[in-house]
Amino acid sequence: MGAPLRRRPVGAALLRLFPLAALIVLVAPVAAGIAGIVLPAFGYLPVLGSTEFSLAPFRALAAMPGLGRSVLLSLGTGLATTAAAFAVVILFVAGWRGTRVFAALERLVSPLLSVPHAAAAIGLALLIAPSGVVFRLLALAAGWERPPDLLIVQDRDGLAMTLGLVLKEIPFLLLMTLAALPQTRAAETDRLMRTLGYGRIAAFFYGVLPALYRQIRLATLAVLAFSTAVVDVALILGPTTPAPLAVRILEWQRAPDLDMHFVAAAGALLQLGVTLSALLAWLAAERLGAFLCRRFARSGRRARRDAWLRRLSALLMSLSAGTVLAGLGVLAVWSVAGVWRFPDVFPDGLTLMTWMRLAANLVDPLLNSVSIALAASLVAIALALGSLEFEARSGRTASGRALQALYVPLLVPQVSFLFGLQILFSFLGVDGTFAAVVTGHLVFVFPYVLLSLAEPWWSWDPRYGHAMRALGKTADSVFWRVRLPMLARPVLTAAALGFAISVGLYLPTLLIGGGRRPTVTTETVALASGGDLRLVGATALVQALLPFLGFALAAFVPAVLFRNRRRLRVAA
Amino acid sequence: MRIVFAALAAIVASSALARADAPNPADWSSVLAEARGETVYFYAWGGEPRINDYIAWVGREVDRGFGVRLVHVKVGDTAEVVSRVLTEKAAGRDESGAVDLVWINGENFAAMKAKGLLQPAAWATRLPNYAHVDGAGNPAVERDFTVPVDGLEAPWGMAKLVFFHDAARLRNPPKSAAALGRWIAENPGRFAYPQPPDFIGTTFLKQLLVELTPDPAVLKEPATDANFEAASAPLFAWLDAAHPDLWRSGRAFPRDYGGLRRLFADGEIDIAFAFNPSDASSAIANGELPDTVRSFVFEGGTLGNTHFVAIPFNADAAAGAMVVADFLLSPEAQAVKQDPAVWGDPTVLAVDRLPPEDRARFAALDLGVATLPPEELGPVLPEPHPSWVERIETEWARRYGVVR
Amino acid sequence: MSNGGTAERGLLLRNVAIRLDGDELVTLDAAIGPGEVLTVMGPSGVGKSTLVAFVGGFLGRDFRASGNIILNGRDVTALPPEERSIGLLFQDALLLPHLSVAGNLLVGLDPAVKGRAVRRRAAEAALAEVGLEGFADRDPATLSGGQAARVALMRTLLARPQALVLDEPFSRLDVARRAQVRNLVFAECRKYGLPVLLVTHDPADAEAAGGRILELR
C-alpha cells in the first residue's frame, strides 16, 4: 500500500499465483485421482481398450471372497483407532493440563510425531509377537523353549493393527490439541469451573472441550480417514485372511490380469464409500457426544472423584510413548545383534556387519528419500509462504474456508485417488519420474506445512512491517529482509515437518514411483516380513531417524545464524 | 473427456511408428557398443537380501566391464511386472518401457509370451555364453513349465524345492505329502506355508498337487473346467484336513518366504522349505539358523525348474539388458552365484564342458553343511502347465482366503 | 485457632504470606465475617491477583505461600479449588458459549437440587432475582456486558459457595452499568450472608462495598 506504483503490477500478479497454485496442489490431484478411478470402475478406459460402460467390475468386486469382512475391518479399525486415540489424548489434556507431569510427557511425546508409521509398527510387532521381546521375557520366567502359538500380530480382528495406529495417532492428536488450546481460554474456564466445584476432568469436558473440539475436528477426521485406508501398517500388523480393503485393492491392481485393474478401480471407489461412512458415523457420534455433554453439564454433577481417571490417562499416555520408544529400542538392538533366537532375551553377541551390508544397499533409497523429501518440503514452503504473503498483503487474515481446503487430501483415502493419479501419470508418460513422485508427496506435505506455518505467521507483529514501510522500504523488501528472517525458526520447523512427512510416505512413493524410486520407507515395508530381522531393524531404524535429521537442522541453523541475537534464538 | 482421451491416444499411437530395431545378438560387438552408457532397470524379486547383494555385485561388474548401469528394482511378486508391461502395451507404449530385464519363469513367462509382451525374436540362444548352457542334461532349459522357451528368455539358475528341519528338534522328518499330513496332525501348530499367491506358497501347493493327483499326465495339459476338479480333489482334501492343525490354526499365514524362514528361525515351526538347495547353509553361515539344520527332500521327488531372465518388447535398454543377461550366464558369475556364502543357487551351465580354469571355480565351492549334494537331491518332478497355478490360487482364495 | 470447637463463621486469612523468589509479595492477616466485605486495594502489579489465586487455590508453582485459609471453621488451605466452596467472580463473565443462559446457570447449580423441572425453576428464579426474566434460552453471546455479569454472579451463587472472592469484577463494565451491577452484587452477598473478599484498584468499588479497606503496597 505504500509501495511505488511501478513495482506493484508484476509483483502482485506473481504473488496472486501462489494461492491459486496452492489450491491446485491441494485439490487438483485429488480430483484427477478420483476421476481416474470413477471411469474405470464402470468399465470405461479406452486406453486399455475398454469403451463400454458396464457394471462388470462391481459384480466382480462383489464376488471377491470375504469382501464384506474386509470392509468391516477397515471401518472397525478406523473408528476404533480414532476413538481410542481421541479418548486418551482428551482425557490426558483434561486431567493434567498445566501441570509439571503434562510438560514432561508432552516433551516425551512430541518427538514421536516424526517417527514414521512403518517403523513404529515394526517396533510394535517385534515387541508383542509371540517370538518378540515381551514373550521372551515371559519365556524366561515360564521356561518355554518355543514361542506360543498365539495369533497376536496379524490377528483377525485387526487389534494389533489398531494398536499400532493408535500409538502413532496419539502424538499427532496431542500436538493438534496443544496448538488449539491457547485459542480456547482453557485456563480461565478451568479456573471458573473448578471454583464452581467441578473436578478437573469434568471442568474440561463441560467447559473447554466444546470450543476445543471445533478446532481439532478436522484433524480428528483426518486421522479417521487415514486409519480406514492405511496400507503400510496393515501390511505389517493387519490380518491376512482377509486383509483390510485398502491392502486388497493394491493386490488387485498388481495382478497380471487386466480385468483386475477394473476391479481395483471399483474397489477404490468402494474404499471411498467406506471412508465416507466412517466420517459420517463419527459426525453422528459427535452429535451424540455433544448432547450428552450438555446434558451432564446441566445436571450439575460435579464429578470430583476423578483421581483414578487422571491416573489412568497419565498411565495410558506414558504407555503409548513408552511402547513406541521400546519398539525403537528393539529395532536398534536387532540392528547390531549377532545371533538372537528365541528364547534369548539378549542377543548372542553384537556385530556391525548388518550396518555395513546396509550401507551399500541403502544408498540409493536413502538418496531418493532425502532428495524427494527436500524437494517436496521446499516447494511446499515456497507455496505456503507465497500464499500467506498474498493473504497478508491483501489485508485478509487467515480465512477459515481456505484452511479447510487444506484437509481435502487428508480426508480422501490415499489408495483411492493415488491409484487414479497413477493412471493419469502413466497415461501422460510421466509416472516414475522424480517430478511425479514429488508432486504426489506435495499433496500430503503441503497441508501440514501450511498448518504449521500459519499460526506463527499471523502472530508476527505487523508493526515491524509498518515501521519499515514508513522508512521507505518496499513490501517485497519487508518480506525478504524483515519478516522471513524473523520467522526463520517457524519456517525451518515447518520445512522439517514437511521433510518428516515426506520421508514416511509409503503409498505415494510406491504407486506413483512404480518401484523405480525406492525410498527408505518402501524398503522398510518390503523387508518388514523378511527373514533377517537384523536387516529389518536397521532399515526401520534409519527410517525412524531420518526425520530427526530435519528437525535437528531446523533447530541448529537458527542457533548458528542467530547466535548473537537473543530474541530470535528463543522459540518464537 | 472422451475426445481428450482419443486425441491423446492418437498422439501416443502415432509415435509408436518410430521404433528402433531390436539389437541382434549375432552381431555382439554392436550390441556391446550400443549397451555402453545405458541404464538397465532389472525388475527382480527383492525379498532375499543375499540375492539383492548378488545382483548388486553383478551391477558393479557390468559397470566396470561394459559401462552398463544396472538398477535393481525390487519387486514383491513378478506378477506385478507382468501387470506393468501389460498395462504399457495396452496403453500403446511400444518403446521406452519401464522394464528392461525381468527375473521370470513359469506362469508369468507363459503369460508374457502369450500376450506378446516379450522381445519377438529369439535372442537368448544367440548370446555368446549360451554355448555353455547344459541343454541336454536339463530339459527345463528349453521348456519352461511345459511352455517352449524359443529363446525368448535366458536361463539363469536352477531351483529345486528342498525342505529343511532342525535335526536337534526333529529327528525324522516326514518325506512325502501323506507323511507330512500325518505329521501335521500329530504336531499341531508346527507347520506353515506362505499365503498364496506368493510363489513359494503356490509352489508348495503344486508339490502337493503333483504328488497327490490321481493321474500326473493330466497336469502337462492345460487346466480346464473338466479336468480341474478331479485332479485337484486330493490336494484340497489334504488341505482341508491339515488346516486346523497348521500354525495359528490356519487363521494367518506368513506373507512370503522371508516370513516363513523367520518362523523357522524362531522355533515357531519345525519344517520350512525353499527353492534354493543351499538356502539353509547360507542362513546358517549368516547366523540366522542354528548349525543343526539339515535339508531333506521328499522320497518321491520334489518340484524343480529353471528360472530365467527375459526382456520385454518395449524395453528401453534392450542391448544393455542382453549384455547383462550374457554376463549372468558367464562361468564367473554362475560360480559366484552358486557359492553358498553368496547365494547358493545352482548353475545352469554344463560344468564338465567348461574350460579347466572355470571348472576349477566350481570345484572349489564349499556347498555348505546343510546342503544336499546333487546326487542326494532326489528326482525332479516336472512342473505342471502354468494354467494350473491360476486355478489353484483362485480356488485356494475361495476356500481358505477368508477364515470364518 | 483450631477446627471444630468454636466453629467460627466467616473467612479467616490467618498469617498469609506469599513470596516470589524470596521477595515478600503479600502479607495479610484478616477475618471476614458473614455478609462482610473486605476490600483489598493497590496498584497493578502489587500482588492482588496473587492473593486471589492463593485464596482460590490456583497459586502458581513459582510462588511460596504460608498461612491458613479457614472457612467457617474448616481449614481449606491444602484443598484443591473444587473442594473449597469458595466462589470466584472474574473480570470477564466467562459464560460458556455452547450453553444457553439457563444452561450456564444450571452448570453452577448445586447438584443436590435434583430433577430437571426443579432445576429449571431454580435457574429461572435466579434470573428473576437479577431482573433477567425470560433470558433463560438466550445465547450468551447476545447479552450485554452488564447482563452477562449478572448471569455470572447468579451462576456463582447458585453453587452455594460459603465465601466469595471478587477479582476486579466490574472493571470491564462501562461506567453506567458499573454502579448498578456493583450494588446488585453486594446486595446479594449480604442477602446470603457470605464473607466477601473484594480485590480492586477502583476506590468507588471500595466505597460501595462499605467494609474495611486494606492497602497492599
Any A CB within 8 A of B312 CB = no
Cell of B34: 550400443
Residue A572: the pLDDT is 36
- Tell me: do A382 and A235 sit in the same domain: no
- Tell me: do A404 and A496 sit in the same domain: yes
The answer to whether residue A570 scores a pLDDT higher than 80 is no
Domain-embedded: residue A342: no
pLDDT confidence band for C127 (50 / 70 / 90):
very high
CATH number for C180: 3.40.50.300
Which of A300, A335, A370 represents a domain boundary (last residue)?
A335
- Tell me: do A14 and A132 sit in the same domain: no
Contact B265 A531 (CB under 8 A): yes
Ranges of CATH 3.40.190.10 domains, chain B = 21-157+307-371, 162-304+380-400
Domain-embedded: residue A178: yes
Residue B244: the pLDDT is 93
- Tell me: do A461 and A548 sit in the same domain: yes
| Distance between CA atoms of residues C104 and A193, nearest Å | 11
Domain-embedded: residue C185: yes
Q: Which domain holds residue A499?
A: 1-41+352-572
- Tell me: do A368 and A402 sit in the same domain: yes
* Residue at B106: amino acid letter: G
Domain-embedded: residue C35: yes
Contact A196 C110 (CB under 8 A): no
Range name among A32-41, A153-162, B214-223 with the lowest pLDDT average: A32-41
Domain-embedded: residue A48: no
Chain A residue numbers touching C106 (CB-CB < 8 A): 297-300
Domain-embedded: residue A194: yes
Q: Which of these CATH numbers, 2.60.40.10, 3.40.190.10, 3.10.450.50, 3.40.50.720, describes B21-157+307-371?
A: 3.40.190.10
Domain-embedded: residue C148: no
Domain-embedded: residue C109: no
The owner of cell 499411437 is: B13
- Tell me: do A484 and A532 sit in the same domain: yes
Pairs of residues, one from chain A and one from chain C, whose beta carbons lie less than 8 Å apart: 83
Domain-embedded: residue C151: no
Any B CB within 8 A of A259 CB = no
Q: How far is CA B314 from CA A50, A280, B56, B118, B230, in A?
A: 22, 47, 24, 8, 41
A135: closest chain B residue by CA: B266
User: Each residue of A459-506: pLDDT tens digit?
Assistant: 887 777 777 777 777 788 888 888 888 888 889 989 998 999 999 999
Q: How many domains does chain A have?
A: 2
Cell of B112: 508374457
Mean predicted lDDT score pLDDT of chain A: 86
Domain-embedded: residue C105: no
- Tell me: do A160 and A299 sit in the same domain: yes
The secondary element (H helix, E strand) that includes residue B155 is strand B153-160
Any B CB within 8 A of A32 CB = no
Contact B290 A155 (CB under 8 A): no
Share of chain A above pLDDT 90, in %: 35
Q: Are B387 and B393 in contact (CB under 8 A)?
A: no
Contact call for C and B: 3+ CB–CB distances under 8 Å:
no
Domain-embedded: residue A536: yes
Which of A283, A308, A335 represents a domain boundary (last residue)?
A335
At CB < 8 Å, which residues of chain C contact A?
A: 56-58, 61, 80-88, 90, 92, 94, 96-99, 103, 106-111, 113, 116, 119, 155-156, 159, 161
Residue A400: the pLDDT is 57
Residue A396: the pLDDT is 63
Q: How far is CA A557 from CA A388, B88, B344, in A?
A: 23, 46, 50
Cell of C102: 439457563
Domain-embedded: residue A341: no
| Distance between CA atoms of residues B164 and A487, nearest Å | 63
Residue B210: the pLDDT is 92
What is the pLDDT averaged over residues C4-15?
A: 74
What is the pLDDT averaged over residues C51-64?
A: 85
Q: How many domains does chain C have?
A: 1
Judge if pTM exceeds 0.95.
no
- Tell me: do A462 and A537 sit in the same domain: yes
- Tell me: do A223 and A369 sit in the same domain: no
Residue B404: the pLDDT is 61
User: Each residue of C181-204: pLDDT tens digit?
Assistant: 888 888 888 888 899 999 988 888
Range name among A4-8, A410-414, A510-514, B296-300 with the lowest pLDDT average: A4-8
- Tell me: do A161 and A229 sit in the same domain: yes
The C-alpha torsion from B381 through B382 and B384 to B390, rounded to 10°, is 80
Any C CB within 8 A of A104 CB = no
Residues of chain B with pLDDT under 70: 1-21, 404
Q: What's the angle, vertex CA A437, arms to CA A435 and CA A440, rounded to 5?
A: 110
What interface predicted TM-score (ipTM) does this complex get?
0.82
User: Hey, of A185, A189, A195, which one would you mutate to test binding to chain C, going by the most C CBs within 10 A of its CB?
Assistant: A195
Strand pairing of A337-339 and A348-350? Answer: antiparallel
Domain-embedded: residue A347: no
- Tell me: do A2 and A145 sit in the same domain: no
- Tell me: do A393 and A506 sit in the same domain: yes
Report domain B162-304+380-400's class: alpha beta
Domain-embedded: residue C141: no
Domain-embedded: residue C49: yes
Any B CB within 8 A of A242 CB = yes
Q: Which domain holds residue C83?
A: 11-96+160-215
One DSSP character per residue, A455-507 reads HHHHTS-THHHHHHHHTT--HHHHIIIIIHHHTHHHHHHHHHHHHHHHHH--H
Cell of A133: 521381546
What is the pLDDT averaged over residues C88-98?
A: 84
CATH number for A117: 1.10.3720.10
